[in-house]
Amino acid sequence: MREQVIRAVEENKIVAIVRGIAAEKLIPVAEAMYEGGIRLLEITYSANGAVSDEQTAENISILSKHFEGRMFIGAGTVITTKQVELTKEAGGKFIISPDTFVDVIKKTRELGLVSMPGALTPSEIQIANRAGADFVKLFPITSMGPSYVKAVKAPLTNVKLLAVGGVNLDNMKDYLNAGVCGFGIGSNITPKKCIEEGNYEEIVALSKKYVEIVK
């Protein structure tokens, strides 16, 4: 399964980020993204405890069961090994973090999940890579830009990088040309207003636009 998820990231290039969406809207929102071509989706844990880790794991479980065989569901904002364990139990297939925490990376690999820790500097990227990361999420990339990616990628050709934070329809190609192999994209695919109004057709349309760029 690990290899299937890794191939899915490499082939589809987009991991949709779902944060702070009410449980009853998870499936309609995710179905809209699926219709638009999204095949990987992360449910984020709440770092400030606004939503319990157990509730987040339950949301991961709901989507994992609903989309079994169609979409890979994983967890984002994973900052503890306990969250890794909860994700595994919930049927999640990958772990994405905002930081480089070796304990989380090692626990992820130990449990057979795909590891995507966050890093920014070359040192952090290499720490993550050496600890067993399958991909390294460059975060936050928004203020650094494609030129930074290109500079980092030049000596670190062995690391598969994902660009996350501020990625949009206008800059995706620039990041691809700079050397990333994929993206994490949140509210640009799932605008808060669309979710509040139940405008799932717009989420389908936005998903299609992002997917078309990476084809």
Q: Report, as residue numbers or ranges, the catalytic residues.
A: 42, 137
Report which of 158, 166, 114 is spatially closest to residue 138, judged by C-alpha positions. 166
Residue that the structure tokens 């760029």 belong to: 213
Q: How far apart are CA 79 and CA 101, in angstroms?
A: 7
**Structure tokens given for 12:** 């589809």
